[in-house]
Structure 1
């Protein structure tokens, strides 16, 4: 029966190599003496040299353990950082909101870690989790979700007053204070306003007309007073200019035009659109600033041709055309400042969608009893034929 091949453990190999080093004898002599195969001792020496001595191996193992520990600590720090970023207002809120955050993110972060970062006890969280929601809490959660839906549908432009009116129109009973409180708790905010920049300049050679409105921004019916102004939109290709005409009665944008140059052709196109869409009767007033695009002969001739009486703001006074300034301010706040337009066409499409797809038909206006411009006009017409 053939002899089984002997297996040598690490200690044997170390001692054999040490014997070779200390004796000064030949490798073959030591191999024969120990009864090991030819070439084994040389192979073991190379293997042990690569692995290092027991002390070196222990040091390497300690180093690996230190690295693993540092990696674990780094993972913890990163988790805590990510929890802090996502928690936001939960750190300053009550325990219930912290528990709610933990519940929503328990698949993403360890519960124990979130409890530590948010400063709550794990036992408290698990007790909260077992506790049934009160009717009030469930109602608040449902209302909060409805608030989010309205906020998103408004393109994040509505604050608590408009959201409250929208919910009320949907037949949902709630107070404005309750809506405002839930919005604060969930950090739901309307987009903020930026300072407006003046774009039109007066041409001193053009005559101006009197201010017929004198800041009395009231109209009794549609097509009684139109307001007009120009603003600019930045794109990678350069400026895109928007001229708009608004019916003061309903705040509806009835005419608009966009172009890469600001001139009287732009304002004439906006007025022409308004005329085509509305076909107003006599007595209409058109109010604008004193910019050269409105005092130009071409524009004034168009006004006279349609029997429209011109009115102009005082020199450099934006408050004399406040509703138009407000519209452009909201356009920038709710749309333009949240986009980076690569081309003028991209900006045109975006602005068209905002005016015709959102503002005129859906955006609730505080001056209109929180109706949209179109809804306000429809209510007026129904009342006329009632």
Structure 2
């Protein structure tokens, strides 16, 4: 079953279809963007409903209904957690730990994440407790702690050095120190980059979804700046995903990655190489890579050649679209960018590196079952 097209891609195709020139049919626009004409007509009807031009339930109303149902279910779960927690803690002999309650609620269908959020608990300690309710290290530390307290009770005048020696003689000092000791410095060097450089300027791949490159570019319009985050597969030089926004936040890079994964298959193990921009080092972006089982790769600071293959694509975009004229609105520039990517770059621009084929033609030829078998 084919994967659904990203929502941002659908909106861009509808924009281009609505703003098509004289003599250009909807079918031609659909062909340029690689979608079926009936699919594009459905998207345009849905856009008319969302804009209020035609009667019907809009996508926003459907989304609000789904969100309301989700919120109702979440509130019911949160109320159940509070009710059970109140009963659990009001026992004659209150329990020392609340993790057993989390386990009981999970068995009854309440997600652990919901329970921990309501009770303000961290999930990782709970899962560690679930694997081993009383770790051996905790028991060992408790025994040695008791031994130190016993030694102090036997001779209260013993100083901290004596007790520290007693702890070391047992094989562990529990990382204790005297409150009268010297202050410890907290300074340190900055940590390493989020990812290592797995590419080292070798921008080649022997198959699709082996190595992707990502970068962000910007251009000014009359409405303000417009930012484009694009992801390119070096196997065919095809832009497998992109996102366009008025703000350059981590969401821009995360959405571009989500759109790329939605349009491709078998991305596990794919390397995504970027520069050290904050968008690509954000927690959201790193979590997105882990969720899709992809490997991150980061170039060096101030080394433009570490992502030169992506810079060359943006140079072409700059010459062919961005610098050709002054752009009055972001909407105008957005239509021009997506048209150049999907129609010109993917389906019309033949590249010498691909044997004078377009990226779409190259992928079609090089990924046929016969060549795969060979």
TM-score range, shorter chain: 0.3 to 0.5
TM-score, scaled relative to structure 1 = 0.46
Which one has a larger percent helix, Structure 1 or Structure 2? Answer: 1
More contact order relative to length (CA 8 Å, sep ≥ 6)? 2
User: TM-score when scaled to structure 2?
Assistant: 0.47
